[in-house]
Amino acid sequence: MIIETENLVKAYQNKVAVNSINLSVEKGQIYGFLGPNGAGKSTTIKMLTGLVFPSSGKGQVLDRPLGDVQARAKLGYLPEHFRYQEWMTGEDLLNFHTSLYRLKRDPERNRNVLRRVGLLEQGNYKVGGYSKGMQQRIGLACALLPGPDLLFLDEPTSALDPIGRKDVRDIILDLQKEGTTIFLNSHLLSEVEAVCDHIAIINKGVIVKSGSMKDLLMGKVTLSIRCSPITEDIYHRIKERFDSTAAPQLEDGSIFMTLKTREEIPEIAALLTAGGIKLYELTPQHETLESVFLKVVGEEETS
């Protein structure tokens, strides 16, 4: 395991920010950590990176106890609220972070990370003159300096335009191919859905849902069917066999229904065509991460 925690708790005075967190992240995963504002995401990341001590519980990162210096040498961290020394050039900043990592300066390494984040031409510009998006990119470059085994990204695209977001998405996917594990905290659910293979949703300091993206989204499927008029008999067979809530065929020849699994789709097609019905369209719509998130967090709010 790259990250493993057991009942991790962080309390500030009388406020419990994070309560009894159990996380397991495997090598090579892109792990999305989601939750509404104030849910405890940044506090969790800070405990995992050794910036904040847990009040109780324990954990390991890269097979070392939380906060271990050896493990931190192979961690990359892009914080949510980045603020860099404006008087430094991008190169200066990389050199500064290189020394914080206790690495030897290496112009080639600097060029590689600058190239990766799309700032190769701007490395000798002052950071104060960078746009917000460029500052976020240089922050990512700093996080990439140690060739991290584990990369923490806290809202990595908050300052980026759509092209910048796509660039970061591609960087994340490339890093995964190279064996890096990524722990991504983001409010942009479509972005998380596009890159993460596992997620955990935290609300009010507690993990309320976790699992593989596939399992979370491949649950129910909404199916829209467009076909020639169907007989009462076939309609009742569909309703009985697949879904008691199937909407009857509308005048435009469509039926909407909810299926338990996508494996039922070919069965429905077979049933319709065997009954002599002409099938024009069969469109499945899976749950989105946003609908799962809203359901899970919404249920918590109303309970």
Ligand X SMILES: Nc1ncnc2c1ncn2[C@@H]1O[C@H](COP(=O)(O)OP(=O)(O)OP(=O)(O)O)[C@@H](O)[C@H]1O
Residues of this chain that bind ligand X (CB under 6 A): 12, 15, 17, 35, 37-43, 80
Beta carbon nearer to ligand X, 37 or 70: 37
Instruction: Report in angstroms how near the CB of residue 117 gets to ligand X at its nearest.
Output: 23
Q: Is 47 exposed, middle or buried (0-12, 13-18, 19+ CB in 10 A)?
A: buried
In this structure, what token pair is assigned to residue 170?
A: 């591609």
Beta carbon nearer to ligand X, 9 or 271: 9
Instruction: Report in angstroms how near the CB of residue 272 gets to ligand X at its nearest.
Output: 47
Instruction: Report in angstroms how near the CB of residue 214 gets to ligand X at its nearest.
Output: 25
Single-letter code of the amino acid located at 89: T
Q: Round to whole Å and give the CA distance between 49 and 47.
A: 5
Instruction: Report in angstroms how near the CB of residue 189 gets to ligand X at its nearest.
Output: 13
Beta carbon nearer to ligand X, 39 or 145: 39
Q: Are 234 and 271 in contact (CB under 8 A)?
A: yes
Q: Round to whole Å and give the CA distance between 114 and 271.
A: 57
Instruction: Report in angstroms how near the CB of residue 244 gets to ligand X at its nearest.
Output: 40
Q: Which residues contact 99 (CB under 8 A, 6 or more apart)?
A: 105
Torsion of CA 115, 117, 119, 124, to 10 degrees: -90
Secondary structure E strands in 69-161: 75-78, 150-154
Helix (H, G, I), strand (E, B) or coil at 224: strand
Beta carbon nearer to ligand X, 4 or 80: 80
Instruction: Report in angstroms how near the CB of residue 190 gets to ligand X at its nearest.
Output: 17
Q: Are 24 and 31 in contact (CB under 8 A)?
A: no
Beta carbon nearer to ligand X, 35 or 146: 35
Q: Round to whole Å and give the CA distance between 248 and 16.
A: 50
- Pick from 231, 280, 233: which is nearest to 254 by CA? 280
Beta carbon nearer to ligand X, 7 or 285: 7
User: Count of residues for the chain?
Assistant: 303
Beta carbon nearer to ligand X, 81 or 214: 81
Instruction: Report in angstroms how near the CB of residue 132 gets to ligand X at its nearest.
Output: 17
